Structure 1
Amino acid sequence: MSSKLTVCGVCEYRNINKSSVVWCSECDEGLCEECKEHHAASKGSRDHSIVPISEYQKLPSNILQITQTCPKHNEKYVIFCKKHDSPCCRRCVVETHDDCRELKAIDDVIRNVKSSNAFLEMEQMLAELSENLQRIRKDRQNNIKILKENKTRIEIEIEETRVLIKNHLDKLQESLMKELYAAEEKENKKISRLISSIQEKEREITECQTNLDKIKQYASDLQTFLAMKHIQQDVTNSEQFLEFLWKEAKMSDVTISFKKENVLEALPKAINKIGTIILDTRLSDTTLASRKNKQAQTMVPTTHVSNIDDLKLTLGQTVQTNGKDITGCSLLPDGRMMFACYARGHINVMKTDGSLDFTLQPGLITTNIHFTEESQKLVVTSDRDYSITIIDMKNRKSEKSINVGSHIYGIVYKDGKLFYNASSRGLCVVSLDDDSITQLVNATLSPYSSIAIWSDQLYYINNDDSVTCCDLQGTFK
């Protein structure tokens, strides 16, 4: 495969030996500088995506070896059979899939695969597996530390007991110490073996994450689609490994304690034991991270990409907000609704049946509101006062107010920071640790509009009504 990558396929066909500088995944061959120009100009290939050879070679070897043509007929894949979960060339359809009804054009199946729910789910699964393996490893390492501390403490207790009964108990002490060391060594070995297997899994998951990142950047959609099946199997094996750890009770904490014998009243010759080494096993306090939706997305992306015209809305409920000039709303975890009334400066909290629960009066003209479930705080913006007010919903009292010195409209919370629409001052962020304000994006945002966060991505509306996505550092996506 490496020689195929480094040699221009077009020139090789003409018995000319030239090094390739780019790789076309759709043509499945490398191109030299001259052929690259013809390739870009040709009507049949001008829309093909090319990648520099140096970048394409960063893909894992097993991904580079994935063929994009049918190995049986040496024809390009054009159809995907959902029934058999396999790509097919034109001749495959005729020979073996003639009765299959769920046949989709391969271009429709792989379209947007890198931004599909399945790909996102794969990234999340790998991140979760890596996090869980790290948690278990750290927990087991901490158990070794506890065992060592237990051993140190018990050594002191044993020594103090030995002093009380003098030389007669020296031999018993030696026997008991051996029992203690043996117990600790035995459990250490068991835990160390488990940690070794966990570290191996961590390396596998890290490699999968690295490969997935490279696939996302450099692999073709078809390569990505086919490679995800291999990675899915690795993920499934790792999840089964985690389940095995729990079911086999390998996550139980082991501690050592010491129980003294009642030796003070006994005659020295009658004493044959001064204590007992006890291994106390209990379930570890460590918890595993778990996605809310444990069912992985299917590895076959939907063949139809929905757009706004496909959405069908069904009226669920009509609520009288009891307010005027409603400019903001937020939902509470229990289903209650909050509405900000701009003109009156009130915030009406409505029950799930639509009736009024109570009214907050923060004492300012309210523009927008945002409830943070993590801290049970309500964030209120006031465009007229250029301020952000934080209300503790437990006691319904204002906690503090931050003057941002500019227009302020939509607002969201993430990791101790408030991101807000400052209109002509762009997208800004205020840290709740020190109330410092930073301009994240220097652009004019649409006034009165909201902003949103999803999967660590920020979305905001520009002054021309276009929508922009950036990361939490303001980098354009």
Structure 2
Amino acid sequence: MVFSYPTLNKVSIIKEIGSVDFSLSVTAASGVAYNNEDNTIAISSCWGDLGNKITIIDLTKRKVEKTISPGGQIVGIVATNKTLLYQLYYKAIQFMDLTDASTRDITIENMNTSIKLTVSRHKLYYSSLGYHTVVCCDLDGTKQWSFKDENILKSPSGISADNNGNVYVVGYGMNNVVVISHDGQNVRNSYH
């Protein structure tokens, strides 16, 4: 497990037994994404002048491998294969190929809020905090489905998807977890 501490400017990697394996200094550490392709983690930092960078940590060597400045405030971040995906706040979701640092943007609706991201089976899922929505799209940004029901999900924050495409979303505004089926048609609500 990895814990980020934005106010302490620190990231801690925790062993399975619960003790700290090691910690590193990362300014304004926020989002965490694990890349199993090369056993690294990408840490987003997004606090004004202190952040706006991505720090890549090599877990085998236990050190910072490199720091990337993508040119804006970074909110959500996810890693898949040799690609990072992150939200440049108020701009776009950016894909970065880690082999050559090339980037491409996809523009989605409602960019002016915090967006959390996850990827599963060649689909991008994101939660839009201020608009109370969860969206599924392909990796080019073409929307497949959208879910919004403020009686079930308010202020969606954390998001994850399983191998079947079921999406798990933390409802910050209702202190719940909502499970949305792979096609966006069925929803199950788990309170507290």
TM-score band, normalised by shorter chain: 0.5 to 0.7
Pair 1:355–1:343, CA change in 2 (3 A): same
CA apart distance, 1:410 = 1.6
Equivalent residue in structure 1 for 2:36, among 373, 376, 386: 373
Aligned to 1:354: 18
| Cα distance between partner residues in 1 of 2:89 and 2:32 | 17
Q: How many pairs were matched up?
A: 140
For 1:335-414, list aligned pairs within 5 A.
337-362=1-26, 364-384=27-47, 385-414=51-80
8 Å contact 2:110–2:131 — kept in the other structure? no
8 Å contact 1:424–1:443 — kept in the other structure? no
| Cα distance between partner residues in 1 of 2:2 and 2:101 | 25
Q: Identify the structure with the greater strand proportion.
A: 2
CA apart distance, 1:423 = 2.7
Deviations 1:220-243 (A, max 9, x none): xxxxxxxxxxxxxxxxxxxxxxxx
> What runs of 5+ residues in structure 2 fail to find an aligned partner?
145-192
CA apart distance, 1:426 = 2.7
Q: TM-score, normalised by structure 2?
A: 0.66
CA apart distance, 1:448 = 4.5
Matched, 1:468 2:131: no
CA apart distance, 1:446 = 6.6
Aligned Cα RMSD in Å? 1.8
CA apart distance, 1:421 = 1.9
| Cα distance between partner residues in 2 of 1:445 and 1:401 | 25
Pair 1:390–1:470, CA change in 2 (3 A): same
| Cα distance between partner residues in 2 of 1:473 and 1:358 | 37
| Cα distance between partner residues in 1 of 2:142 and 2:133 | 17
8 Å contact 1:427–1:443 — kept in the other structure? no
Partner AA of 1:342 in structure 2: P
User: Rg larger in 1 or in 2?
Assistant: 1
8 Å contact 1:404–1:437 — kept in the other structure? no
Q: Classify the secondary structure of the residue corresponding to 1:410.
A: strand
CA apart distance, 1:474 = 1.4
8 Å contact 1:420–1:427 — kept in the other structure? yes
Say which structure, 1 or 2, has more relative contact order (CA 8 Å, 6+ apart): 2
For 1:103-122, list aligned pairs within 5 A.
none
Q: Identify the structure with the greater helix proportion.
A: 1
